[in-house]
Chain A
């Protein structure tokens, strides 16, 4: 069965960096676009970033553009999110999510999420 497992969350000071990873299994990872979606404590869902199935196309929310970088390794079935210059407003649970296919970016599988807390 499809499984997405995030890791790398934790407590970090403002201005510092953190790298999140998502390990995928149970499907052909290289076939699907992947996304990061976050949820601040007690708040709604916010899309963060997208990467195409082959990694050639990427897109970011304005709130993270220039600070976050999404990447994937199709040989290792992993999705990453490099987060630099972190701000307190980046505090959230970060989910990796699978999009079913190109052009249909709704999320049919989600990981359990990893909590990132940006605080001094």
Chain B
């Protein structure tokens, strides 16, 4: 199984400041035949289901604000919120879809400082 390790577990950021979340997979999720990283980021607010933000490691889902960006390849990935807004308070999860079992990171809770 591919283990997804997120860091930090939580972070508090001032409004308008940058938030950075990291995710490391225990093996590469880059598929060499198409050069795609089988990796996604989700946002989950309290009482709601998760919402996909980023897929293929760096492709923003339609409707997601451009302050959210994804980067990385292979085993190391980053979600960046360039200017934190109040509505971004949530738990963020990474996921690999390179192989089954599909696996998620443990989550990172983002709060306002």
Contact = CB atoms under 8 A, between A and B. Distances in A.
A50 interface: yes
Interface in B17-62: 38, 40, 42, 44, 48-52, 55, 61
Contacts of A107: 40, 42, 50, 52, 95
A44 B104 contact: yes
A112 interface: yes
Contacts of A35: 102
B49 A47 contact: no
Contacts of B38: 104-105
Interface residues of A, number: 21
Contact of B107 (A44, A47, A59): A44
Contacts of A61: 101
Q: Dominant SS at the B interface?
A: loop
A104 B97 contact: yes
B53 to A, nearest CB: 10
A43 B42 CA distance: 15
Q: Dominant SS at the A interface?
A: strand
Contacts of A62: 101
A106 B49 contact: no
B40 A47 contact: no
A14 interface: no
Contacts of B103: 47
A95 B49 CA distance: 8
A113 B50 CA distance: 10
A106 B55 CA distance: 7
Contacts of A104: 38, 55, 97
Contact of A59 (B55, B93, B100): B100
Contacts of A44: 93, 104-107
Interface in B72-102: 93, 95, 97, 100-102
Given A45-B104, A104-B97, 11 more contacts: A44-B106, A61-B101, A62-B101, A95-B49, A105-B97, A106-B40, A106-B55, A107-B50, A108-B52, A110-B51, A113-B49
Q: Report the 8 A-B pairs with minimum CB-CB distance, sorted nearest first.
A: A110-B49, A106-B40, A47-B102, A105-B97, A45-B104, A106-B55, A44-B107, A59-B100
